[in-house]
């Protein structure tokens, strides 16, 4: 049965969404005011996050067209796995992109969140990097 399980895992969609979440997403798409508020929040928070991340020494922040940001952290003194582990202690989850084709162990991806969450993320990053003399 392990062969069947292995085949199923390879065929599985990487990001599963349950039917309740799908129904909520469809309902949200029909709510024009919600879409406008969400679009504005993402636009404003992405600008804030890009600006703050670009101020961090050792980070190369790529332009973002979506609600997440790709960052090369090679010069930060951390690998993606190390930074992910450190941020987890602050209750923050980032995406280690080392398994992405064309990227290596120095790439992370972060989601655009609310102002409070983005400020917490930036403060946590600075705390971690300052502990190594970066920041």
Q: What is the dihedral of CA 80, 81, 86, 91, to 10 degrees?
A: 90
Q: How many residues does the chain have?
A: 135
Mean pLDDT, all residues of the chain: 90
Residue 45 near residue 118, CB atoms below 8 Å: yes
Residue-wise pLDDT tens digits, 21-58: 888 888 877 888 888 998 899 999 999 999 999 999 99
Residue 59 near residue 76, CB atoms below 8 Å: yes
- Can you tell me the distance from the alpha carbon of 104 to that of 22, in angstroms, rounded to the nearest whole number? 33
pLDDT computed for residue 13 by the predictor: 63
**Complete domains list, the chain, with CATH:** 16-130 (3.90.1150.10)
- Can you tell me the distance from the alpha carbon of 135 to that of 125, in angstroms, rounded to the nearest whole number? 8
Residue-wise pLDDT tens digits, 105-127: 999 999 999 999 999 999 999 99
pTM for this entry: 0.76
pLDDT reading at 135 higher than 60? no
pLDDT computed for residue 124 by the predictor: 97
pLDDT computed for residue 23 by the predictor: 83
DSSP summary character for residue 62: P
């Amino acid at each position: 049965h392990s062969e069947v399980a292995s085949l199923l895992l390879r065929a599985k969609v990487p990001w599963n969404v349950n039917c309740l979440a799908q129904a909520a997403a469809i309902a949200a798409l029909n709510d024009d005011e919600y879409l406008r508020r969400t679009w504005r929040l993402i636009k404003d928070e992405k600008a804030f996050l890009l600006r703050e991340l670009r101020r961090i020494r050792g980070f190369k922040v790529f332009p973002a067209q979506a609600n997440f940001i790709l960052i090369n952290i090679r010069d930060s003194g951390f690998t993606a796995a190390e930074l992910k582990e450190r941020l987890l202690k602050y209750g923050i989850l980032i995406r280690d992109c080392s398994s992405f084709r064309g990227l290596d162990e120095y790439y992370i991806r972060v989601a655009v969140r609310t102002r409070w969450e983005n400020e917490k993320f930036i403060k946590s990053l600075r705390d971690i990097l300052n502990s190594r003399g970066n920041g």
